[in-house]
Amino acid sequence: MQVVLKRILWLFIIVSSGSLWADNVLEIRITQGIEDARPIAIVPFRFNGTNKPSQVVERIIAADLQRSGQFNPLPISRMPEHPSSSSEVKVEKWRALGIEAVVTGTITEISTGSYRVTYELTDVFYGQNDGNMTVRGGHLVQSSSPILLSRQATVSDRSLRFYSHQIADAIFQKLTGIRGAFATRIAYVSINHDEARPYRLYVADSDGYDPQVLMSSKEPIMAPNWSPDGRKLAYVSFENGNSEIWMQDIYTSKRQSISKFKGINSAPSWSPDGKHLALSLSKDGNSEIYTYDLQNKQFKRITNHSSIDTEPSWSPDGKTLLFTSDRGGRPQIYTKPIDSFSRPKRISWEGDYNAGASYSPDGKSIVMVHRNQGVYHIAKLDLASGYIDVLSDTFLDESASVSPNSSMVIYAALHNDRQVLAAVSMDGRFKARLPSTKGGVRAPAWSPYLK
């Protein structure tokens, strides 16, 4: 088998070492910011009560907005005042600092462990343009009030962190016109060979906080993939001595074996309607692409070729599959309609290796592992122009997963001989690393929007 062909089965066979303890989180370290990120202020929320909440709401919101790469929150030490509502905001003070918008709020204790959270988003430059025009999402729009958001909710202390992410989502959407994706989750795999069960599948908040072990095993776990309702994960496990595809409910931990044929069972991918899985199986000889109907439990063969076909991924409309194939001599990306007898069409041409592709949720681009001159990076293929843009600058990049709002990509990389997760904006201008506090992690998967 050729060296490049061996790289196709990379995620299926090769697992590297590292460690991550159950009480550790992923630490976000911004490595490249955006110079023209929009200035914003998230003022410390005023607390009314006796027992303070366990979470610092303004800190979570600011961190979310900063790691989006779109905003540059003002440090608290530089704030000219600490208002708790829009009526208290002295806009001239914030204008002098160039701040575009100010977030204010209060947290009032209702009972033990229960709080009423109120917040407002104030447009600092409201009324400075003719006709009260203001800039939103890069466009000049009519604004009827300086208060862009004004909301309140009763939240338990346990739910306060998630609600803080939801506040950040609302602010992000109001100011950019794009739905926020902070109140989502990520799944990933960690390995610690000093443990009796070294392989662990984790689910954590999108910022790496509160990691929960979904399952652990003595044998490798890989390729987690979220169901469209955010309730289940499909993944590959070798716990029974051979590759096997499992489906597991993340809330009840109930598991179901989907495919355990002799040979390769790999790369599960959920259809947008949640009714099918696409997967790679070698049950009939070569590694081919199949779909699996979750209701009638029937497999349908999609490809039939002497090459290795693997890593299927659905288009947002559920009508087409992307996959990796070496039928052209080297691993490249192909596409094939589900309900068609047409031959697969190659869509990647630049670079000597392209694999692990998936559509962005907005359907405008494809994100994949791209090799050029022996270096593996994450790249974006714009479907309208056919242009490939290399997004990452880390080492041995793999397993790219796009946020549900198509603004960020999370992937696995090697940094200082240690496996880490990394993130990059879809324009490549903002970059961050997410190493664990102890050891290495890999195979990230970004959840869909959560209800």
The larger pLDDT score, comparing residue 92 to residue 131, is at 92
Q: How confident is the model at residue 69 (pLDDT cuts 50, 70, 90)?
A: confident
| pTM (whole model) above 0.85 | yes
Distance CA 42, CA 383 (A): 37
Phi, psi for residue 437 in degrees, rounded to 5: -70, -20
Check whether 20 has a pLDDT greater than 50.
no
User: Average of pLDDT values for 353-377?
Assistant: 93
3 state DSSP class of 41: strand
Q: If pLDDT is split at 50, 70 and 90, which confidence band does 136 have?
A: low
Helix, strand and coil content of the chain, in percent to the nearest 5, comes to 10, 45, 45
The answer to whether 380 touches 389, Cβ cutoff 8 Å, is yes
Give residue-wise pLDDT tens across range 381-420.
999 998 999 999 888 889 999 999 999 999 999 887 778 8
Nearest to 56 by CA among 181, 138, 157: 157
Distance CA 387, CA 392 (A): 16
Domain range annotation of the chain: 3-29+184-446, 36-176
Fold of 36-176: Rossmann fold (3.40.50)
- Who's near 6: CB < 8 A, 6+ residues apart? none
Predicted confidence (pLDDT) at residue 259 exceeds the cutoff of 90? yes
**Which CATH number does 3-29+184-446 carry?**
2.120.10.30
Q: How confident is the model at residue 27 (pLDDT cuts 50, 70, 90)?
A: low
Which band of pLDDT confidence, cut at 50, 70 and 90, is reported for residue 134? low
* Residue range 160-197, pLDDT digits in tens: 999 999 999 999 999 999 999 999 999 999 888 778 88
- 3 state DSSP class of 206: coil
Lowest mean pLDDT among 22-31, 212-221, 371-380, 387-396: 22-31
